[in-house]
Amino acid sequence: MTTVTVNASTSYDIIIGRDLLKNTGELCAEVLKPCKLCIVTDDTVASLYLETVEASLCASGFDTMRFIFSHGEESKNTHTLVELLEFLAASGLTRSDCLIALGGGVVGDLCGFAAAVYMRGIKFVQIPTTLLAAVDSSVGGKTAVDLRAGKNLMGAFHQPTRVICDYLTLDTLTPEIFADGCAEVIKYGVINDKDFFEIFKKGIKENIEEVIARCVANKRDIVEKDEFDSGKRQLLNLGHTIGHAIELLSDFTITHGSAVSIGMVIVTRAAVNTGLCPKEDLELLLDTLNRASLPVECNFSAEELASAALLDKKRSGGSITLVVPYALGDSRLVKTPVDKLCEFISKGLEGA
């Protein structure tokens, strides 16, 4: 078992280990007084893990209830959010009570945002059940739901009270969903940890506890310096500006991890084609993504991608901040005029 501590506006531990769900109650009792707990999950995760988690919480003296919604990105919207908030109010949850986010990134984002706004903020615990959620969305306090115009446009910063990461849950993921998480894992290597690529060669799944711990430690270091995303934390958006555009243009038929993978390739190839990044670094990135069964190209034009990307929340007035690799392990924030975005993306599609 590995513990990574985050010292942000609140301090909390990320507990990483095998077969932790049966100890959920004990791990929550270390940081919570006896209270009402609402377990928020989706219908897929509920059928796998809800009974185990609920039984453990009850055995530790917590009063539990459950809110289950349909799985998928299409549920991460204001309608589901309001349904959850109305359920919490009707159930009599107070400011001393807590939410449990049991599931992947959609569950964590939705539940965390509900916790941020219900009664102006209550505690919540993240229990990620996908690799993507374990290494990225469950850590750092970003919570959100989607609007019709784009992903995560309604949200808040709200740090969890604890993160419980049982990587045994990853064994039930389809290869496609596991690969989604691998995109976020590889992202950390591109941002500031080139040595991570040596572990990728040995296998992400084969070294899963070390991989998760290293990812969350990398994210922890960035979040502690820039909790509210005004500077260095934006490095974590590598591949995401174009990735979110790809998701939107595909009507979310291209998954988040796949879109981020393609987005990373486009910005890295653009950096190579403008003389900023060595070509061999692009080749290593492509090889690593291919071995993780991730896509590296899409059929959308530069004009389509640029138009959709300008809806991204990282746009500020007449510019948008891109994360550009100058080398693997050396990614930088580049403020780009919006009228130059299409040209930059075009460079990233050349030779694809």
Count of CA atoms in the C-beta half-sphere (13 A) of 243: 26
- For residue 115, name the pLDDT band (cuts at 50, 70, 90): very high
Q: Does residue 305 surpass a pLDDT of 80?
A: yes
Query: According to CATH, what is the number of the domain 175-349?
Result: 1.20.1090.10
What's the pLDDT score for residue 201? 94
Mean pLDDT, range 232-246, rounded to an integer: 95
CATH fold for domain 2-172: Rossmann fold (3.40.50)
pLDDT > 90 in the chain, percent: 94
pLDDT tens digits, one per residue of 331-352: 999 999 999 999 999 999 997 6
What's the pLDDT score for residue 189? 97
Mean pLDDT, range 229-248, rounded to an integer: 94
pLDDT tens digits, one per residue of 128-148: 999 999 999 999 999 999 999
pLDDT tens digits, one per residue of 308-325: 998 876 677 789 999 999
In three-state secondary structure terms, 157 is strand
pLDDT > 70 in the chain, percent: 99
| d(C-alpha 113, C-alpha 265), whole Å | 31
Q: Does residue 194 surpass a pLDDT of 70?
A: yes
C-alpha dihedral, 145 to 83 to 117 to 42, nearest 10°: -60
Could you state, in order of their start, the residue ranges of all structural domains in the chain?
2-172, 175-349
Averaged pLDDT score across all residues of the chain: 96
Count of CA atoms in the C-beta half-sphere (13 A) of 257: 26
Burial (0-12, 13-18, 19+ Cβ within 10 Å), 134? buried
pTM: 0.94
